[in-house]
Each structure stands twice: as structure tokens, then as C-alpha cells.
Amino acid sequence: MNINHDKQALQQNAGVVERWEKIENRFYFYGQQTVLEVKIVSDGVIRFRFSALGNFHRDFSYSHAQHYQQHIEQLEVSEEEEYFVIKTAKLDCEIQKERMLIKILDKKGLVISEDEKGFHWEEHKKHGGEIVFNTRKGQAGERFYGLGDKPTDTDIREKRFENWGKDTYAFGKDSDPLYKNIPFFIGMHHKVAYGIFFDNSFRTFFDFGFERKNATSFWAQGGEMNYYFIYGPELLNVVQTYTEMTCKPEMPPLWALGFHQCKWSYYPEKQVREITSEFRTRKIPCDAFYLDIDYMDGFRCFTWHPEHFPKPKKMIQDLEAQGFKTVVIIDPGIKIDPNYWVYKEGLEKGYFCKRMDGPLMKGAVWPGECNFPDFTRPEVREWWAGLFEGLMDTGVRGVWNDMNEPAVFEIETFPNDVRHDYDGDPCSHRKAHNVYGMQMARATYEGVKKFGENKRPFVITRSGYSGLQKYSSVWTGDNVASWEHLAIANNQCQRLSVSGISYCGTDIGGFIGSPSGELFVRWIQLGIFHMFCRVHSSGDHGDQEPWSFGVEVELLTKKFIELRYKLLPYIYTTFYQHVQTGMPTLRPLPFVAQDDTETYNRQDEFCMGENLLVCPILAEKVDGRWLYLPEGKWYYYWDDQEFDGKQEVWAEAALDRVPLFVKAGAVIPMAPVMQYVGEFDPEALFLHVYVNSGEYSSYLYEDKGDGYEYTEGVYCYKTFVTHGDKKSFTITQNIEGSYNPVYNTYEIMIHGLNFTPKSCEVDGEKVHIDVINPDKNLIRIDVDKGFGKIVIK
């Protein structure tokens, strides 16, 4: 849908402010028929709600952002001749009396956001209600990020997008819309960042200077003009605030951050046992194994195929004994079958979606003709959660929700006239479509958690709305085994991370088609740095187990999966920081070095956490690549070569390397290689310390890896501070929390000492130094895990 400025006669604006009032932290500005509500959420977050005809809808959103409220340090309002000014400690918000145009400035007087046409609307002639628009002035040098899983460049300026979840098989670069509906974007100009969260679940659109280069717009085909302005000024500040507003996730089980193997489909039981045994025989680490739709009896959800899997509980117990956690797929379509217990219950209780005139919504998906639960009804979500008791009792450890855009064969999705409860605010599918998948994932999460015997739930979903990160991880859908899609995967996961959804990954190797061995290795090299690390493919295109491409590819794949497992302490810590603060786990280069304009056009490089920089190889038959390093000193992981930042450097990276750099000063915790999380209790943890001049802090988070004791203080959060000069190097450790890790010692590898060490003291006691590589200034010391201070001279 286009704005179509030729129809301006049909569009109406807000008119003139006739009166205003203040109620606590809310301001109301009344026109002849339009009302603007301005809510001060915090000193840096302002919510704007427009009612075209003077009556606000119920203040409800599945994002939960409406409940977000922070302390307000300063709140003042004044009236000038032509506008009102609302001042907080961080922002000045000017509201013009004419047309209620909004301008937001920081305390230095920089205009961060300014309306052009501002709020305007037109009547929706076909469906009723209003089509609501907001048009702002484009700022000089403005760039844009976010919007979830859009398969396009990291910077989305001069592009247009639509949010209407769609099953887009074999999507390509710039395909739109896609599976997820995240109406949140970040803008930056003059090195100052802000965000806008347009909390409207109708079909929404975003134009970042596509139609007119000097204007940006967002609009929806129904509902309110309801959006939040989020001030940075740092890009990462914006992401943190948005993630907090829409709910941060809880810690996942540690095994879920390991390697996952999946295919459409592994069956029967004999094949499942053969493939999992191959992983253990070949000693390729793997924690999760997936069963796609063929494990079911006729694709009926919550059933087992009596011939393919005659004794599922025994099989799953045997897999668990080998360290594999079983994850099964569950789709929303419930087969119409009077002898099928799930269908009978849903029908008797009236839990399926209906068409406008009363018939049940019926559509064809994998089981054939199906009805579909209304996940926007609380009692339906509770019923759905209860259905997982049997699967969880069988030993299933995770659930994978697919087809939940919702997708329907032949007609794409539900017709617009399908009715939904919307938690007590009955509506059509026009309003509920974009939240349907998220509410399915929510109900699934609640069921897996309820019957998980106090284990942390693991859920993965293909579709969702803002806030889905509270309930589920995501993958990017049905991608293609191509070099172009490898690059798309890199951009998508960076974009999802800065859109509040850090627990994300792609189908490594591509779902559709068969990758070359080289492409498979390069994709593994990228995938091990995504929080969700899973190989998935369509079986009719060939096998994609690590040994499917020959011995060389198998060994290289094993090498990089082992690197993933070595890095699990660092990855787990990075996820913990995301859970605590909303900080994204993957950070595009402009988010790492916002003041460095050289990073603005870079989209291949990203940081995972605070201390690792990755730049995947995205082309075939190359043995390295150029990349840009931000300010500071960096070590090349593979050979400890040192590089100064703020420059482009060449990284040697034949097929046995991925360009990976470590920030100087960092302490990188690493574990011994295991075939699965918890295979054995390690005697030591490895700390790789990268020397730098000056002081630098790094962190390590540890807990039991599952369960909820960490919420009661049974965790360990360690702060390592390194300090170096020309003659000495020190490491201090501070420990918070009551968890006692099973290992007793640290094996500390110190990289890049700039002097020849003569002595080492740990808490005042001399210890032995092993010189591992004098040419690289690489030394090793073994210390107790509870040390306080190490001094090397």
C-alpha cells in the first residue's frame, strides 16, 4: 500500500489545539476532533497516542510496552505563542498548536526528530476505521537500522518495508514482507541515535526516504497512531531501552547454546539412532536433535507415528543418555478428524478461530484440512499449554513452532474476516495476524515451562511480534544454499539482535538446495557466533550432516563446532548480559564505534559481546578478506598478530580460518571441548588474556546451566580487570554470588606481553611461569579459581 499523495484531499490532519491539560505524567492536547496524548515514560522515552476522532482504544498491547514506566527526574511544561514545550532531564518536546506537529530536541539544541506532515489519516472505506500516518522530516546524513528479519542491507535508508507476517519460501535479498513483524527502528544522524517503536499490530508500513528522500513515514491500515520515541544518544542505549520495554528473556538452558542438528525429516527411529550415533562416533559435539513433522501420526500435533516411532519415550531416554536433547516441531493447524483427541477437545470447547458469519476457519496445511486455535484467547493459550504434558513426559526438551504466521496452503494466510478475541478486545484477522505467531509461541513456552520439571524452557518460533523474545528464540526461515544467502544470514541476525531478538540464528547451510562443502564450512564459521546455532535442511535436496561433504569438510566443521563449545563460557556470559541489561549479543560495527563514521558503511563485520569481532568470508575461493577494525588494539585469534584499530586490515583466512579478532585487554573464558554440555566435570577453566596498556574489565557469568536457582543468588559473576604498562601486567578478580563452579583452577594463557617476564605472584605467593611461545610473548600460569590478584613483572 502506498501513501499516495495524489489523494491528499481524502487525508485529514490533527487541526488546531483548542485546549490542553496535564494529568500526572500525561499531557492531553485537544483539537476540534483529534486528541493527542503525550506520556512521559522516562526522561528519555516519550509515548505519543493520537485519536483521530477523540476516543482512544483500550490501552492494550501484546508487546507489554504500555506497562513500562521509569523514574522521571525532571518534568516541566510551558506554553509559547505557537507551541507547547515539555521538558525532561534529557529532551525538549515541542508540540505545535497548528496541526499538533512534534519536534524533539536534545539538551544541546540538536533537532533529533521533527514532523513534516505529522499525524494524518484517512477513512478506511473498505473496512472502516482509519488508516493512520506519520510523516517526519528526513535529517541530514540520517541512517536507519532495525525492523527485525528484513533480508536487506544493515542500513535501511531509501527503502520501504511492510509488516505482515508471510510464509516466504526461498526468499531473496530485499524480499518483503517476511515472517516476523517488528515495528521498531533506530535512526541516527549527527552521531546521535534514537528509536521509534510503532506499537500497532495491523498491517504496517515504513518508508525511509524511498518515496521522497527528504521525508520518512510509517503508517498502519487500522488502529491508533501509537508510538514511542526512545532517546539514545548511543545506538546501544536505544536497543537496551526498547528490549526492556518489550520484556527481556530469561536465561536459556546452557545446552540450548550448543550445536543443534535438524532436517526435514529424520525418521524412522532407526535413522535417528544412526545419525546421533555418528555424531558420537566421529566426536563432533552436538546437544540438540530435531524431529520434524514426520514424527507425528498423519501430521497430527501432539501424536507419535506408531510405525516410525513405536517407543518414543525409550528412544528419547536413550538419546538423553548420549547427551542429546530432543526438540520436536508443533504447528498451529489441528487436523479436522472426529477421532483425534486434540481436535475433539478444541471443537467441544469452542477454541478454534471462526469466520465472520460463524463457520470455523478452515485451511489446508500439512495434515490436510485443519482448524486453528485462537491464541489471542487466554483460555485457549492455557489449553494449548496443557497439551504439552504428554510430550514433556515423553522426555522432549524443546519445542519448535512453525507455520505460525499463520501460513495456509493456496490462500497464503487467514482471510481478513476471521475473528479473534484479542484478550477481550474482539477483532478481525487484520488486527490479530501479526501477533498470532507470538501468542502461539507464548502458549508453547508456558506449556514447556509448566511440565519441564523446573527446567528452563526452550522454544523456537518462525513468526512473532515485538516482545516475542520473552518467550522464544527464532530462526530466519526457509533460506537457500547460496553465497548470497550467507550474506543475508549475516545481516538478518545482526538486524534481529538490534531489534530486541538476540536469540536468533539461520538454517546453517541453507534449507533449500545443496551447498558446496566450501559454502557449508563458511556458513558454520558464521553460525557458531549466532546465539542459536543449528544446521537445518530439506532432506529432498541432499544430506547436510557434517560428514556429508567428505573428510576435509567434516574435520573443518568439527573444528569450528569445537570452537563454539570452547567459547560457551563467553557466549553464556554475553547472553546473561543481554538478559540483565537488554544489550544485544550481536552488535553491528556502527553500534560498536558510533563516533567513527568509517563504520557507517560496514555491514559484514560485527562484534559478539564486548570482546570478539567477527567478519565472515562471504565469497567462494578466497583465502582472506579486508575488514575494518574499530579504535583500539586487536589480536588476530589464530596467530596473535596485533593490529591497531581505525583502519582497514587484511585477514588471512583460508578455509580453516574465519576472521576473528580479540580486543586487547580482554579476558576470554574458554571451556574444554565436550561432546555435549555437561559431558564431564572439567578440572580447569581456561582464561585467555590479551595484553593491553591501561585498564580493561571483562566478565564471566556461571550458574548450574539449567533451573532457576540463579534467580535466588546461586550464580557467580566474576569481574576481571587487567592493567598493563612497560614493566608489569596485573589481573584482579572480583566474585559476586554464591555458586561454586565444579572446576578448581584456571589455566591462564597470557598473549602479547611486551616485556620478558621474570616473576609472577598470585595473592603474594610466587608461582611458576611456563613460556609457551617466546616469539609471540605467550605464557601460561595455573592458579586457584578464587585468586584475588596476579602480578607479573
Task: Enumerate the active-site residues.
Answer: 402, 405, 478
Q: Which three cell numbers stand for residue 483?
A: 553465497
Instruction: Give the separation between CA 222 and CA 127, rounded to whole angstroms.
Output: 9
Burial of 274 (0-12, 13-18, 19+ CB in 10 A): exposed
Longest dimension (CA), the chain: 85
Q: Are 545 and 275 in contact (CB under 8 A)?
A: yes
DSSP string, 95-130: EETBTT-EEEEETT--EEEEEEEEEEEEE-TTTSSE
The half-sphere exposure of 787 on its side-chain side, counting CA atoms within 13 A, is: 26
As a three-state string, the secondary structure of 625-658 is EEEEECCCEEEECCCCCEEECCEEEEEECCCCCC
Cα distances (Å, whole numbers) of residue 142 to 112, 187, 216, 589, 675: 10, 7, 10, 16, 47
- Alpha-carbon gap, residue 637 to 688, rounded angstroms: 10
| Of 466, 524, 531, residue with least CA distance to 493 | 531
Start-to-end CA span in the chain (Å): 68
Q: Nearest CA to 243 among 189, 186, 294, 284?
A: 186
Buried b (16+ CB within 10 A) or exposed e, 300-329: bbbbbbeebbeebeebbebbeebbbbbbbb
User: What are the grid coordinates assigned to 724, written together?
Assistant: 598493563
SS3 (DSSP) at 342: helix
Q: What is the arrangement of strands in the sheet containing 325-330, beginning at the earlier edge strand?
A: 504-505, 473-475, 459-461, 398-401, 325-330, 288-291, 259-261, 533-535, 507-508
Identify whether 499 is preceded by a cis peptide bond (ω within 30 of 0).
no
| Helix, strand, or coil (residue 559) | helix
Q: Is the alpha carbon torsion for 343, 346, 348, 351 positive or negative? A: negative
Query: What residue type is assigned to position 622 of the chain?
Result: V
- Are 94 and 27 spatial neighbours (Cβ–Cβ below 8 Å)? no
- Beta strand pairing status for 334-335 and 143-146? unpaired
Q: Whose CA is closest to 522, among 639, 615, 589?
A: 615
User: CA-CA distance, 495 to 491, in Å (whole number)?
Assistant: 6
Beta carbons of 483 and 617 less than 8 angstroms apart? no
The angle, 0 to 180 degrees and rounded to 10, between the axes of the packed helices 378-386 and 341-349 is 160
- What is residue 736's three-state secondary structure? strand
